Amino acid sequence: MSKIALITGAAKGIGFETARQLAQAGVHVIVAARSQDKADAAAAALQAEGLAVEALALEVTDAVSIAAAAATVTAKHGVLDILINNAGVMHDVPGKPVSAQSLDVWRSTFDTNVFGVIAVTQAFLPLLHKSAAGRIVNLSSILGSITLHATPGSPIYDYKVPAYNVSKTALNGWTVQLAYELRDTAVKVNAAHPGHVQTDMGGPSAPMAIVDGAKTSVQLALLPADGPNGGYFHLGETLPW
């Protein structure tokens, strides 16, 4: 029986490519997007490649949408093997310093990048516990690393997109806390830095192609039983918190 995976924010970019690569690996993928239309379009594109995917409407900041999505997956599959919390936003106003970003920017960023992840994970964790090898992948960023932000000369020392950066730091913290809770179960949770990827967020001049940006999520989604739990990775390399 194929593993079942759910990917949030999978209508385009890294989420869409992650869905493709997991489906190519034999996983049945639930392509989740904010609207049914976007989910349907993404699923249709992958189905046209002969891949086993289905569409699901899931808005990570909407409790009603999350509950409906969880009920749908429960009724149809009764189990979830892989949850990839891929949906994310960057709302910072370019050029504004940390202290000048509005509270609305901070709140809207955290609503998706932190609270949305927590809410979706809480909703689907009962299904993950029914898996023989549940895997949770939280899409973080190297920009969430406090160590690198505080180290002069690091690759990100001068790259301050404050609300986004701090939301990913918080996401890393959530990952570690949840990993501790799940340490004696069959469910593993890890944080992934996809890289600086050529997406709408990363920009066309980013050094990594989308096909490579999805690889870390896929690796962590398919971890063996002796794989890590509670780590922070990029293409197999452990990153500093």
Query: What would the 3-class secondary structure string for the chain be?
Result: CCCEEEECCCCCHHHHHHHHHHHHCCCEEEEEECCHHHHHHHHHHHHCCCCCEEEEECCCCCHHHHHHHHHHHHHHCCCCCEEEECCCCCCCCCCCCHHHCCHHHHHHHHHHHHHHHHHHHHHHHHHHCCCCCCEEEEECCHHHCHHHHCCCCCCCCCCCCHHHHHHHHHHHHHHHHHHHHCCCCCCEEEEECCCCECCCCCCCCCCECHHHHCHHHHHHHCCCCCCCCCCEEECCEECCC
Q: What is the CATH number of domain 4-238?
A: 3.40.50.720
The catalytic residue positions are 164, 168
Instruction: Report residue 37 as tokens.
Output: 């239309």
pLDDT at residue 196, as a whole number: 83
Low-confidence ranges of the chain (pLDDT < 50): none
The domain ranges of the chain are 4-238
pLDDT at residue 198, as a whole number: 74
pLDDT at residue 209, as a whole number: 84
pLDDT at residue 201, as a whole number: 65
pLDDT at residue 181, as a whole number: 98
